[in-house]
Amino acid sequence: MFAEPLTASGTVHWIGTGRSTGRTGLDLLCDHAKRVIVWDRTRERARGRLSPLGLADRAEQRSLSRDSLQAEVRPGDVIVSMLPAAEHPALLRLALSHQAHFACTSYTSAELAAEANAASTAGLVVLTEAGLDPGIDHLMAQQLIERARRDVGDTAATVDFTSYCGGVPAQPNDFRYRFSWSPYGVLTALGSSARYVENGEQRTAQRPWEATRPLVLGKEAFEVYPNRDSLPFVTQYGVPSGWRLATFIRGTLRNEGWYTAWTDVFDTVRAGDEARIRALAAELANRYPTTDADRDRVVLTVELTIRNSDGATCWRGTQLLDVSGDAAESAMARCVSLPLAGGVVRILDGALPVGVNRAAQTADEADRWIDFLKEHGLPITSHCPPDPPTGSDDPLNERGERSKGEARHGA
């Protein structure tokens, strides 16, 4: 049984100021919240992070400890965790014990979901998967799938879905990568298997990089590989059961040449020696430091193609986010913090239901979120078949090639 939503107090506790904390998102929160408190290892570190963003005088700063945080959290506050995913369950437990709402950008782990069960009966909102990936990728996927379902119906002979996201150097370096989070975390992620659908069959890549393949966007070449477990998202995205999936892959995007440049890294990860992996992570951090002069780039592409039984394409849609960082804010920080901040604003406004929420769980919600992101400057572009003219039962495409009862031809 769900309780009535607990009215948000207007106070937001932003925990952690790593590389994904951006000016755009925090500035938005400072505009909407009554009070924003930023917590870091020390007050000086928090202020040092906020000052270059121009926000040191708009948000309060605190030194983080469990006791100090517990002393300040009040019922209806929102705790936002920008800490590593392993820290989320403890912060969520703290939030629930103080009748506070909770938000993060990470995947909804089994442990996080178990802790969040109590939120429904307490009238609290738990927001997860509200960043870039996971987050914006969910929004794009749900929009495309709903538009296609509306056009072709709930049965389709062949369906190919891919979603690839990556943070890369704006100007590719010899390593073909720019660390936007912990180097050790990057190497650890490489060692995690990936599950996906290819050629109509479920596949598992124990070493995901071995499934690397080329991808061309416009005239630019990239490399992509599957990441994590894609299969649960078939249901999460609302893919009709009558669609025969030939491909369903959520994965990672890298600059062309990445696979070759990382040969030595793969050898170390493959060996599985924890001490060697940690040592290599430290070495890479020193060899390829992120400096103020660096400019990063985020590329997120989601594509859905549907074919008839004869193999002819009857519907195709794509969504693309391509943004580069500047001196004021990295692309990664902007793309992670803005959707998260937008979700927190919805909590403050009482617009999200109690219990566990992801970035968007319906196509209508996805539309609202993407409209918000576009209004705040994220360059999301969409290429899909046009909507039918109002009042028309049998719309034609721009070439007049659709006859009644046939699927619309895509762009």
- Catalytic positions are 133
The first and second tokens of residue 314, run together, are 């009857």
The per-residue DSSP string of 185-204 comes to: HHHHHHTS-EEEEETTEEEE
Give the dihedral of Cα atoms 28, 134, 60, 27; nearest 10 deg.
Answer: -20
Burial profile 295-330: b = 16 or more Cβ within 10 angstroms, e = fewer: ebbbbbbbbbbbbeeeeeebbbbbbbbbbbbeeebb
User: Which amino acid is located at 27 in the chain?
Assistant: D
DSSP-derived letter for residue 384 is -
Is the separation of the CB atoms in 378 and 334 below 8 Å? yes
Q: How many other β-carbons are positioned within 10 Å of the β-carbon of residue 130?
A: 28
3 state DSSP class of 310: coil
Which residue stretches of 129-223 are H helix?
Answer: 136-152, 183-190
Inter-CA distances, 110 with 88, 89, 114, 340, 368, Å:
12, 10, 6, 21, 28
Is the separation of the CB atoms in 60 and 37 below 8 Å? yes
3 state DSSP class of 184: helix
Residues in CB range of 264: below 8 A, 6 or more apart: none
The first and second tokens of residue 139, run together, are 């929004």
> E strands within 286-408?
296-307, 313-324, 355-357, 380-383
